[in-house]
Structure 1
């Protein structure tokens, strides 16, 4: 149980959030971002960095700068669902099949998928359809048609009952948006404009870019600062197609915080109500929105990311604080958003130099903490024993040493964060919580061993050898790995996912850091690379190299 600390003065909180945002842009991780905050009746908008990397004429983004908001679009789809429910046009427990009579929607032992299942990420449908085979890897949803969707649903078999387990699905929300569009007899874009953006006065929010929006569109960048293509959606628009700016999104957030009025969409309160558990302590899901209890405060939030943008939108359930973070790079900005919603945890305010003990642990003591901890779906924190003490590694990040403050409490020196381990009645470590930027993230212990990928040692291969691996590899229908080399580093990008570095441990053998996955490239006797094998979750997925 956590005690809610006294609320910091508004200017002190603002200074802390500003410092985090400034550091993210100054480090080069994100070319530019806009941070919009609501505190009581006041609201502020601050831009950082540039709207485009490396352009001499680029300027600082502001309240009118347009970004792709990615999966924050799902909250718009959920609001359309809630609006139609309140109007009596459908019910949350209606089946998807009832809205799409021409489709063959999969069932599990007679249990049909409901609209509520889709809206709470519990439908049992996979994250992406297997027949997503984009002509352009950097614009993966653009050519996915309604016929593609029909074909996939007709052939897919659910592995569990709908409603039984939380599992994030872009496909599920894309299907929900499409079903609502069919029921309304209008395109998703038209429905969005009629029910949400026009009533709320959001002229710069929509699917298609108007001329005015195009003129103010920030350039999207990947995680390494390289400009990338914008994403376009057709059939699956409800999953992530919306573009907007901070000015419009402030109106959107404030409407959720203050409730419905005569001119706002019905269902604003319904979307925020917790509907189902996620399986993670303190975290539930409403209609799209995540509802999280943190140190006595309830937060309502959603994040998003496309190939070149990232977003975070959230507010406190008491209606006192709200935040919008829009960035022009596919780099997570959740920490900035959370810092704007919560005062700093007391642990992060303690000086990490000179005021905390750094007693070296014995090998036996370190072994108590070693293991694999689950922070969120697809995100883990691995604790291993190093020569000088414990090492912590979050998925996709480098290892960092942590130092003991007292029994079961450790702190970082490289960032303002700490780890708190919890024991069961027998004294065995069963979970930990990561405290950072006012956010407490619980993580149950999944195993007492660390994935091999965390323990691997990288070697350097010559740039010309790395070039030999570049190309596209098809592992399954609609699922490819695009391998590129840049500045002596090999990168891999899976279909509809971000680009990640991989590291050589031997010729033709590579591994991800912070992710239990490896790649083995297949080489012919003449030296030509003809395919690869992805080793992950105990499976070996083979992919031939596509013809140039």
Structure 2
């Protein structure tokens, strides 16, 4: 699952944050009863180690904490507990783009190649990728670069730097024309942040601090957690509850590297809700249609959606040990930040906090499959390419500790054997079932995910 211009034109109303425990009431926005009950149940059943739900009406705010942020602490998480926010980072990269545009430094339709003259940026029949294409995921670039080959799957982006990014871009051919197809791309946002930093002659982190963190007074928001932040950092967990490593980023940092806490994120969200800056207004202005039937659109990272007739803007995030949600109603009356230190999404809690009555029934927990050991000599037979669709292929190879499975436009992830020919992912709820012919030769694989079973034939 990722710049020295004039300051962002921002001024905030005074923000009153009321810390609220899961069991007490206080002045400030009230938490929906169904959301509260769901959060309590999620931590009670061990599905999430901790959850922080921060609400704001644009002026006053309240922070509700559930569970435990660290095993060695008996206190509930609060407004100052630090989490990885994952892809909500993209909204900050989008805001940096909006700031550069409103400052007259770049244009949305400007080719990214003009900001990175030392890079070879792919084009499609002469049409170049623009900054807007990157910001709306319409660039034609894949979700992840094909040359992402993590040495440690627990920290997949750590070794992917500028040299690897340049190498991939120089050899990649776009499958379709920029501006025509939505393809969510971490790679694209990594490139966008890299370009904005290059334009300003600084690093992405420095730009983030200069243009967003310092003007807004965000003291715990950074791509590199300070010692003070780490003392308040919630321990991350995999979806199965096991401890997870924190992720390190290089070239893909603008897509998902930021650490933050609820206090900072409320201030950040309020800057959009109160429409106090031209950059914030541009960032949530719809730029492309995602689902015409449902009216879903995308701005500069922000998704513009509606539920029960209520328009709202949102983005979520997930890393190896954390998940997050940020959203607000476009009338500026309700905003929510949700942070958890378990890699399991909290989107339903986020939407229900914005639009009461939308919380779906809680899904039953899928029993954790038991991992078995298979000899390396036996694993070799599964290696190969399996076409689940004309443009979507699973690539299976034998790694140093077991099978690694990649997919078109995505990185690799380990799978674990539960029985002969049966493997499962730990990072997501999905399983692979390999098929054999009458002679026992593997001919295909079935991907089981989200209630679907998709057959992929093995390529010669």
How would you bin the TM-score normalised by the shorter chain? 0.7 to 0.9
Q: 2:406, 2:413 within 8 Å by CA — same for their partners in 1?
A: yes
Q: Secondary structure at the match of 2:311?
A: strand
Distance in 2 separating the partners of 1:109 and 1:490:
41
Q: Which residue of 2 aligns with 1:421?
A: none
| Paired residues for 1:508-519 under 5 Å | 511-514=447-450, 516=452
TM superposition shift of 1:504: 5.8
Change (3 A) 1:97 1:513: closer
**Does 1:274 pair with 2:286?**
yes
Q: 2:371, 2:416 within 8 Å by CA — same for their partners in 1?
A: no
TM superposition shift of 1:56: 4.4
Change (3 A) 1:87 1:298: same
Distance in 2 separating the partners of 1:86 and 1:490:
51
Change (3 A) 1:171 1:464: closer
Change (3 A) 1:206 1:479: closer
TM superposition shift of 1:57: 3.6
Relative contact order higher in (CA < 8 Å, ≥ 6 apart): 2
Q: Which residue of 1 aligns with 2:398?
A: none
Q: Which residue of 2 aligns with 1:25?
A: 43
Q: Which runs of 4+ in 1 moved over 6 A?
A: 465-468, 486-489, 505-510
Whose strand proportion is higher, 1 or 2?
A: 1
TM-score normalised to structure 2 length: 0.79
Q: Which residue of 2 aligns with 1:528?
A: none
Unaligned runs of 5+ in 2: 1-27, 380-400, 437-441
Distance in 2 separating the partners of 1:209 and 1:12:
31
Distance in 1 separating the partners of 2:326 and 2:229:
20
Q: Which residue of 1 aligns with 2:352?
A: 339
Distance in 2 separating the partners of 1:464 and 1:112:
49
Q: CA RMSD in A?
A: 3.2
Q: Secondary structure at the match of 1:44?
A: strand
**Does 1:144 pair with 2:75?**
no
TM superposition shift of 1:310: 0.2
Unaligned runs of 5+ in 1: 1-9, 353-392, 399-457, 519-534, 543-548
Change (3 A) 1:516 1:157: farther
**Does 1:500 pair with 2:433?**
no
Q: Which residue of 2 aligns with 1:315?
A: 328
Q: Which residue of 1 aligns with 2:391?
A: none
Q: Secondary structure at the match of 1:512?
A: strand
Q: Which residue of 1 aligns with 2:20?
A: none
Q: 1:70, 1:305 within 8 Å by CA — same for their partners in 2?
A: yes
Distance in 2 separating the partners of 1:503 and 1:397:
19
Q: 1:166, 1:279 within 8 Å by CA — same for their partners in 2?
A: no
Q: Which residue of 2 aligns with 1:293?
A: 306
Distance in 2 separating the partners of 1:92 and 1:303:
23
Change (3 A) 1:20 1:163: same
TM superposition shift of 1:61: 1.1
Distance in 2 separating the partners of 1:11 and 1:250:
13
TM superposition shift of 1:473: 3.1
**Does 1:248 pair with 2:264?**
yes
TM superposition shift of 1:514: 2.4
Rg larger for: 1
TM-score normalised to structure 1 length: 0.67
Q: Secondary structure at the match of 2:64?
A: strand
Q: Secondary structure at the match of 1:173?
A: helix
Q: Which residue of 2 aligns with 1:70?
A: 86
Distance in 2 separating the partners of 1:199 and 1:321:
23
